[in-house]
Amino acid sequence: MSYPIIILHKGKETSLQRFHPWVFSGAIKLKPDNLIDGEIVSIYSHNNIFLATGFYSNGSIAIRIISFIETEINLNFWIQKINNAYIYRQQLGILNNTTNVCRLFFGEGDGVPGLIIDYYNGHCVLQAHTLGVYLQKQTIVEALKHVLKNNLISVYDKSKETLPKNQSETINNSFLFGALDEELVVKENNYSFAIDFINGQKTGFFIDQRDNRKLLTKYCQSKKVLNTFAYTGGFSVYAAKNAIEVHSVDVSATAIKLANKNVEINKLTNHTSFVADTFDFIKDKKNEYDVIILDPPAFAKNLKSKHNAVIGYKKLNAMALKLIKPNGILFTFSCSGVVDKNLFYNTIISASIEAKRNVKLLHYLYQPPDHPVIPYFPEGEYLKGMVLWVE
């Protein structure tokens, strides 16, 4: 099978030779005139050496690489990709007796930019971020059936939110295979969570905080805990197992409803929710909480908003640090990819200085291994956190 050929300018082959999976439009010397968005293309260097196969997009990232060897993109290709991702997670014991939810496929980290698949105890939620991936969805479903066998109940396509706007207008989210007939409750580290992947934000649950939630339990024994930006109450449920009292805050009433439900499912009674803006909620409080969790949505979605994002993180963290009781603990996170770990670290330090609190750094936190970061693509690292002891 031969795909349309793209030839790069001299020198532009080096990033592909280092296995970086993106080609920017400026690197392209020659491409067919009739090339359309989403097409599979073969990429060659200026002196006709094959470099990679990828999906073409009309955008500044013009090609996203899915193979660095010459291969046909067919069912076998997808089976191999998904099987590799599945074996990796199985070998690491991510899915086990106490956890039946994980990110099964994480874009570049698993070798296909633009493909996200989350696994909820048999139900897969697929999000295509590019048309190239979207056009392959039926084959991806076949590959999932092949790899997961009896462990697959349904596949729900939720790409309407993730595809570029001009491509998503005419499509709808729908089941590509199977169905969800009953309320879905999954287990994470033996805690139960009701999942509404159809109506919930993103794929319905923030799977990337599993390890960090587990760490939190250690610091909640007999404490009063505030979980801000709580969404479905992931951190709240873990905290409430050990804490005296837990407060959850989220600006979304729908999210708080789900958080309350999760607290109930786990038979916890020491929890209260507040539908409120976090900044408003904490601004007049003082000396009330032993442990505070700050896990806001990405303040920066692109480089342009990085500066304002840093100001936002500093303000939020300084407010929380002022409010925390002596000898308290702060769990603070950023999921903005453009705010890297050094910048986040410096921002938190400067928030501590502003709050005039002595802090000790207990942990650096990252995304878990089912959101793998590959060394060829450091941009894949997006979640970072710090745990501080606050004197």
Applying CB under 6 A, the span of 146-154, 170-178, 232-240, 336-344 interacting with ligand SAH comes to 232-240
Q: How far is the CB of 295 from ligand SAH (least distance, A)?
A: 4
Q: How far is the CB of 190 from ligand SAH (least distance, A)?
A: 17
Coil, strand or helix at 175: strand
CA–CA gap between residue 78 and residue 387 (Å, rounded): 39
Give the contacts of 32 (CB within 8 A, at least 6 positions apart). 4, 5
In order of 276, 310, 357, 383, the CA distances from 318 in angstroms are 19, 12, 9, 20
In sequence order, which ranges of the chain are alpha helices (DSSP H)? 14-17, 75-91, 131-135, 137-148, 165-168, 210-218, 234-242, 253-265, 278-283, 306-323, 341-355
250 binds ligand SAH (CB under 6 A): yes
168 binds ligand SAH (CB under 6 A): no
Shorter beta-carbon distance to ligand SAH: residue 63 or 230:
230
CA–CA gap between residue 305 and residue 299 (Å, rounded): 8
Shorter beta-carbon distance to ligand SAH: residue 89 or 213:
213
Q: How far is the CB of 278 from ligand SAH (least distance, A)?
A: 4
278 binds ligand SAH (CB under 6 A): yes
Applying CB under 6 A, the span of 56-64, 100-108, 273-281, 347-355 interacting with ligand SAH comes to 273-281
73 binds ligand SAH (CB under 6 A): no
Phi then psi for 331, rounded to 5 degrees?
A: -105, 115
Q: Which residues is 41 bridged to in the sheet? A: 54
Shorter beta-carbon distance to ligand SAH: residue 108 or 188:
188
Q: How far is the CB of 281 from ligand SAH (least distance, A)?
A: 7
255 binds ligand SAH (CB under 6 A): yes
Q: How many residues does the chain have?
A: 391
**Which positions touch ligand SAH (CB under 6 A)?**
206, 209, 229-232, 234-235, 249-252, 255, 277-279, 295-297
